[in-house]
Amino acid sequence: MNIHYKNTNIKFTQKVYEPAEDSFLLAETALSIIKNSENILEVGCGSGIICAVIKKNTHAKIMGIDINPYAAECTRDNGVEAIRGDLLNSIRGKFDIIIFNPPYLPTDDSERTIGWINIALDGGTNGRKIIDRFLEDAGSNLVDNGKILMLVSSLTGIEEVESKMKSLGFQIEERNTERFNFEQLVVIVATKARK
Protein backbone atom coordinates (compact mmCIF):
# COMPACT_ATOMS: atom_id res chain seq x y z
CA MET A 1 0.00 0.00 0.00
CA ASN A 2 1.16 3.54 -0.71
CA ILE A 3 0.40 7.09 0.43
CA HIS A 4 1.60 10.31 -1.19
CA TYR A 5 1.91 13.14 1.34
CA LYS A 6 4.00 16.33 1.41
CA ASN A 7 6.02 15.48 -1.72
CA THR A 8 6.78 12.06 -0.26
CA ASN A 9 5.75 8.56 -1.34
CA ILE A 10 5.35 6.24 1.64
CA LYS A 11 4.99 2.47 1.38
CA PHE A 12 3.54 0.45 4.23
CA THR A 13 2.26 -3.04 4.97
CA GLN A 14 -0.49 -4.54 7.12
CA LYS A 15 2.06 -5.38 9.83
CA VAL A 16 2.65 -1.69 10.68
CA TYR A 17 0.39 1.09 11.92
CA GLU A 18 -1.36 2.65 8.94
CA PRO A 19 -0.76 6.41 8.76
CA ALA A 20 -3.88 8.23 9.99
CA GLU A 21 -4.97 11.65 11.27
CA ASP A 22 -2.56 11.49 14.21
CA SER A 23 0.40 10.78 11.89
CA PHE A 24 -0.43 13.73 9.65
CA LEU A 25 -0.98 16.12 12.58
CA LEU A 26 2.38 15.18 14.09
CA ALA A 27 4.16 15.48 10.72
CA GLU A 28 2.66 18.96 10.16
CA THR A 29 3.79 20.09 13.59
CA ALA A 30 7.29 18.70 13.09
CA LEU A 31 7.67 20.55 9.79
CA SER A 32 6.56 23.80 11.43
CA ILE A 33 9.23 23.49 14.17
CA ILE A 34 12.25 22.06 12.36
CA LYS A 35 14.79 24.67 11.32
CA ASN A 36 16.64 22.26 8.94
CA SER A 37 19.85 21.39 10.79
CA GLU A 38 18.57 19.42 13.77
CA ASN A 39 19.48 15.90 14.78
CA ILE A 40 16.10 14.14 15.17
CA LEU A 41 14.90 10.78 16.45
CA GLU A 42 11.43 9.37 15.91
CA VAL A 43 10.47 6.79 18.54
CA GLY A 44 7.82 4.34 17.35
CA CYS A 45 8.45 5.24 13.72
CA GLY A 46 5.85 2.78 12.35
CA SER A 47 5.62 3.05 8.57
CA GLY A 48 8.24 5.80 8.57
CA ILE A 49 5.85 8.43 7.25
CA ILE A 50 6.97 11.17 9.64
CA CYS A 51 10.67 10.37 9.18
CA ALA A 52 10.32 10.25 5.39
CA VAL A 53 8.39 13.53 5.23
CA ILE A 54 11.02 15.24 7.39
CA LYS A 55 13.85 13.82 5.28
CA LYS A 56 12.18 14.91 2.03
CA ASN A 57 11.19 18.42 3.16
CA THR A 58 14.07 19.54 5.44
CA HIS A 59 17.83 19.21 5.83
CA ALA A 60 17.53 17.71 9.30
CA LYS A 61 19.24 14.42 10.13
CA ILE A 62 16.55 11.89 11.07
CA MET A 63 16.48 8.29 12.22
CA GLY A 64 13.77 6.04 13.62
CA ILE A 65 13.36 3.29 16.17
CA ASP A 66 10.48 0.86 16.64
CA ILE A 67 9.93 -2.31 18.66
CA ASN A 68 8.12 -3.83 15.67
CA PRO A 69 10.76 -5.32 13.32
CA TYR A 70 8.40 -4.84 10.36
CA ALA A 71 8.08 -1.13 11.20
CA ALA A 72 11.86 -0.64 11.34
CA GLU A 73 12.12 -2.44 7.99
CA CYS A 74 9.28 -0.38 6.50
CA THR A 75 10.94 2.87 7.63
CA ARG A 76 14.21 1.74 6.01
CA ASP A 77 12.27 0.85 2.83
CA ASN A 78 11.02 4.45 2.87
CA GLY A 79 14.61 5.71 2.79
CA VAL A 80 15.28 6.48 6.45
CA GLU A 81 17.76 4.84 8.82
CA ALA A 82 15.87 2.85 11.46
CA ILE A 83 16.67 0.28 14.12
CA ARG A 84 14.62 -2.13 16.13
CA GLY A 85 14.43 -1.31 19.83
CA ASP A 86 12.14 -0.71 22.79
CA LEU A 87 11.62 3.05 23.22
CA LEU A 88 15.01 4.62 24.07
CA ASN A 89 16.76 1.53 25.48
CA SER A 90 18.93 1.06 22.37
CA ILE A 91 19.69 4.74 21.81
CA ARG A 92 22.97 6.42 22.67
CA GLY A 93 23.61 10.09 22.19
CA LYS A 94 21.53 13.24 22.36
CA PHE A 95 19.04 14.73 19.94
CA ASP A 96 17.65 18.20 19.28
CA ILE A 97 14.15 16.79 18.77
CA ILE A 98 12.55 13.48 19.71
CA ILE A 99 9.21 12.77 18.04
CA PHE A 100 6.78 10.23 19.47
CA ASN A 101 3.30 9.14 18.44
CA PRO A 102 2.84 6.70 21.32
CA PRO A 103 0.40 3.86 21.82
CA TYR A 104 -2.19 5.94 23.70
CA LEU A 105 -5.47 4.05 23.63
CA PRO A 106 -6.66 2.94 27.08
CA THR A 107 -6.81 -0.85 26.77
CA ASP A 108 -7.90 -3.43 29.30
CA ASP A 109 -7.09 -7.14 29.18
CA SER A 110 -10.29 -8.05 27.31
CA GLU A 111 -9.47 -5.58 24.50
CA ARG A 112 -5.92 -6.73 23.85
CA THR A 113 -5.17 -8.66 20.70
CA ILE A 114 -2.14 -10.60 19.55
CA GLY A 115 0.23 -8.98 17.10
CA TRP A 116 2.22 -5.91 16.24
CA ILE A 117 -0.76 -3.62 15.60
CA ASN A 118 -1.92 -4.09 19.21
CA ILE A 119 1.51 -2.94 20.39
CA ALA A 120 1.15 0.20 18.28
CA LEU A 121 -2.20 1.07 19.91
CA ASP A 122 -2.21 -0.37 23.45
CA GLY A 123 -1.44 2.32 26.04
CA GLY A 124 -2.31 0.17 29.06
CA THR A 125 -5.39 0.58 31.22
CA ASN A 126 -5.07 4.40 31.48
CA GLY A 127 -3.47 4.99 28.06
CA ARG A 128 -0.25 6.31 29.63
CA LYS A 129 1.77 3.17 30.36
CA ILE A 130 4.17 3.62 27.41
CA ILE A 131 4.07 7.43 27.57
CA ASP A 132 5.23 7.41 31.20
CA ARG A 133 8.07 4.96 30.45
CA PHE A 134 9.19 7.13 27.54
CA LEU A 135 9.08 10.40 29.48
CA GLU A 136 11.16 8.98 32.35
CA ASP A 137 14.08 8.40 29.95
CA ALA A 138 13.64 11.05 27.24
CA GLY A 139 15.41 13.91 29.03
CA SER A 140 18.72 12.04 29.05
CA ASN A 141 18.57 11.74 25.24
CA LEU A 142 17.94 15.45 24.62
CA VAL A 143 20.40 18.31 24.34
CA ASP A 144 19.75 21.34 26.56
CA ASN A 145 16.69 23.12 25.16
CA GLY A 146 15.93 19.98 23.16
CA LYS A 147 12.29 19.26 22.39
CA ILE A 148 9.89 16.36 22.55
CA LEU A 149 7.04 16.47 20.03
CA MET A 150 4.43 14.04 21.25
CA LEU A 151 0.89 13.39 20.13
CA VAL A 152 -1.61 12.84 22.94
CA SER A 153 -5.34 12.03 22.89
CA SER A 154 -8.06 13.25 25.20
CA LEU A 155 -8.77 9.54 25.75
CA THR A 156 -5.37 9.32 27.43
CA GLY A 157 -5.68 12.41 29.61
CA ILE A 158 -3.90 15.42 28.16
CA GLU A 159 -3.67 17.20 31.53
CA GLU A 160 -2.15 14.12 33.16
CA VAL A 161 0.53 13.85 30.47
CA GLU A 162 1.32 17.56 30.73
CA SER A 163 1.54 17.26 34.51
CA LYS A 164 4.03 14.38 34.17
CA MET A 165 6.12 16.43 31.74
CA LYS A 166 6.17 19.41 34.11
CA SER A 167 7.16 17.18 37.04
CA LEU A 168 10.17 16.05 34.98
CA GLY A 169 11.25 19.66 34.37
CA PHE A 170 9.88 20.22 30.87
CA GLN A 171 8.29 23.46 29.73
CA ILE A 172 5.22 22.62 27.67
CA GLU A 173 3.23 24.14 24.87
CA GLU A 174 0.20 22.74 23.06
CA ARG A 175 1.12 23.32 19.45
CA ASN A 176 -1.57 21.75 17.23
CA THR A 177 -5.01 20.44 18.09
CA GLU A 178 -7.63 18.61 16.08
CA ARG A 179 -11.00 17.27 17.17
CA PHE A 180 -12.45 14.06 15.80
CA ASN A 181 -15.75 12.31 16.54
CA PHE A 182 -14.75 10.77 19.84
CA GLU A 183 -11.48 12.41 20.79
CA GLN A 184 -9.30 15.48 20.67
CA LEU A 185 -5.70 15.10 19.49
CA VAL A 186 -3.02 17.53 20.57
CA VAL A 187 0.68 17.77 19.79
CA ILE A 188 2.58 18.80 22.88
CA VAL A 189 5.99 20.42 22.51
CA ALA A 190 7.98 19.79 25.69
CA THR A 191 11.26 21.67 25.99
CA LYS A 192 14.05 20.43 28.24
CA ALA A 193 15.18 23.20 30.54
CA ARG A 194 18.82 24.22 30.33
CA LYS A 195 20.84 23.09 33.37
Question: Which tens digits make up the pLDDT trace of 21-32?
Answer: 999 999 999 999
Give the count of domains, the chain: 1
Question: Which tens digits make up the pLDDT trace of 55-89?
Answer: 999 999 999 999 999 999 999 999 999 999 999 99
> What secondary structure does DSSP assign to 73-122, as a single string?
HHHHHTT--EEE-STTTT--S-EEEEEE----B---GGG--SSHHHHHHB
Domain limits at 28? 2-192
Mean pLDDT of the chain: 89
Q: What is the pTM of this model?
A: 0.91
Residues 6+ apart with CB under 8 A from 13: 1, 70, 74
pLDDT of residue 63: 97
Q: What is the 3-state secondary structure (H, E, C) of 19-73?
A: CCHHHHHHHHHHHHHCCCCCEEEEECCCCCHHHHHHHHHCCCEEEEEECCHHHHH
Cα-flanking dihedrals φ and ψ of residue 161, to 5°? -65, -45
> What secondary structure does DSSP assign to 153-169, as a single string?
ETTT-HHHHHHHHHHTT
Sorting pLDDT into bands at 50, 70 and 90, what band is 127? Answer: confident
Nearest to 173 by CA among 184, 185, 187: 187
Q: What CATH number corresponds to the domain at position 55? A: 3.40.50.150
